[in-house]
Structure 1
């Protein structure tokens, strides 16, 4: 009986894995702006709705919006210039730029559909408007490349595999979870490097100095401190490695 039960469990586990893989593969489509094949099961409208829905809670998490209207106006101006001068203007996303009040956490991020954020802590460290353009160009790049939607699909696949292995084997779930975590970390690093590349292109198209993005990397490096985790354990590439790729992008786009 135990052997028969094990075979049934294995069959069910394999079925769960197969369904997860089939669902993931059937979501393949070409990103019109990067030219890459992606696995995304969200529409543009769904991405926009998701970002707008999540924005208030993200703003609250970082202490609300910063009261400096001049700084917010600069952020809006730079963000709109980047979008209107680049492939961003051809997307259907709703771009909004938010200066967050948090003056301790050095961070910038984007939600699906065009909601882009920078904390006061990072904003205050930037030396000029070109560096601000570098930060926001990078975040707009995440939106255009649909990294959040793509990551959701990847996590759905990973969860399906983990569930299937857990059902089909004894003690296999932990190993599957570790593999899935390493895969999503790699996807994260690749996303960051692609957004750097797109950010450089947008800076050049908008008339900003792309070399100033290297200065942003120095700020991030100093903020991380000497005890930052090795790159293979982080979702973000090491700033020093990102600098080399940024230089490559600058050469590629002819600046």
Structure 2
């Protein structure tokens, strides 16, 4: 009897999680894609603003070099104001982090975008910096954070249901089933993470070109990231959250060909 009740409870939890996820569908006004999110744009903006100070603190705070910080802001705002991004409701701001060792850039939901000094000093041109910031803008307008939060809630509900259904207090080995269920949930989110990165690369190609930057500069950014990793792939590409930089170059070339079938104009900033 206990087993039946446990199974029913697990089934109800799974059903509620699935229904909630599949019913939270709306069209992204920027990309035109149908996606599942369970928060408003205003909530995204508020969440990003709330998290920004804590994220900056993890990287040593903001960089004291005001000239470099203003350059990052200027290029970021050029990407916003000279593209369709200016028509979105997001509040974009661009920050240079003090961390000289870490090679990273990231976006918080709502438009707070960060790049570490460790990555900035490796970049060789204005066009490359535009490519990095354009990629992060892509994450924001594509609402990747909101998507990931919705998926996380789904997988949390499903793995919780699986744990309840599998767990037997009289059989300690049943705990391994819950662990397996959790791993499946993690792998699901890793796969979506790869797709998000590739979509942001494609959006960055559009944004950089529209703002007057040569999108080919992004290919050199991928080479720089690969050099920063020492050429190590960290395991099979499928199992990585971020696609291997070398493999992303081919996808960037495809996006450039699609955006500029007659070739990239010569007058763009590299």
TM superposition score normalised by structure 2? 0.92
For 2:9, the equivalent position in structure 1 comes to 12
Counterpart Cα distance in 2 of 1:67 and 1:13: 53
Counterpart Cα distance in 2 of 1:224 and 1:180: 27
C-alpha RMSD of the superposition: 0.9
Q: Determine which of 233, 251, 258 is the counterpart of 1:245.
A: 251
Q: Which runs of 5+ in 2 are unaligned?
A: 168-173, 265-270
Q: Which string of whole-angstrom CA distances, capped at 9 and with x for unpartnered residues, describes residues 171-230 of structure 1?
A: 332221111111100000000000000001001100101110001001110111233322
Q: Which string of whole-angstrom CA distances, capped at 9 and with x for unpartnered residues, describes residues 130-185 of structure 1?
A: 00000000000000000011100000000000000111123332221111111100
Bigger RCO of structures 1 and 2 (CA < 8 A, at least 6 apart): 1
- Return the offset for 1:105: 0.1
CA contact (8 A) 1:109 1:139 kept: yes
Counterpart Cα distance in 2 of 1:34 and 1:131: 23
CA contact (8 A) 1:38 1:150 kept: yes
Question: Is 2:171 the partner of 1:158?
Answer: no
Counterpart Cα distance in 2 of 1:138 and 1:61: 22
Question: Is 2:110 the partner of 1:110?
Answer: no
Counterpart Cα distance in 1 of 2:110 and 2:3: 45
For 2:187, the equivalent position in structure 1 comes to 182
Q: Which string of whole-angstrom CA distances, capped at 9 and with x for unpartnered residues, describes residues 103-130 of structure 1?
A: 0000000000000000000000000000
Report SS of the residue matched to 1:125: coil
CA contact (8 A) 1:9 1:167 kept: yes
CA contact (8 A) 1:96 1:114 kept: yes
Q: Which moved more, 1:150-159 or 1:229-238?
A: 229-238
- Return the offset for 1:13: 0.4
For 1:216, the equivalent position in structure 2 comes to 221
Counterpart Cα distance in 1 of 2:206 and 2:231: 31
For 1:40, the equivalent position in structure 2 comes to 37
Question: Is 2:240 the partner of 1:234?
Answer: yes
For 2:171, the equivalent position in structure 1 comes to none
Report SS of the residue matched to 1:193: helix
Report SS of the residue matched to 1:9: helix
For 1:131, the equivalent position in structure 2 comes to 128
Q: Which runs of 5+ in 1 are unaligned?
A: none
- Return the offset for 1:55: 0.4
Q: Which string of whole-angstrom CA distances, capped at 9 and with x for unpartnered residues, describes residues 52-98 of structure 1?
A: 00000111110011111111111111101101122211110000000
Q: Determine which of 142, 165, 175 is the counterpart of 1:168.
A: 165
Report SS of the residue matched to 1:76: helix
CA contact (8 A) 1:9 1:169 kept: no
Counterpart Cα distance in 2 of 1:185 and 1:246: 21
Report SS of the residue matched to 1:208: coil
Question: Is 2:26 the partner of 1:21?
Answer: no
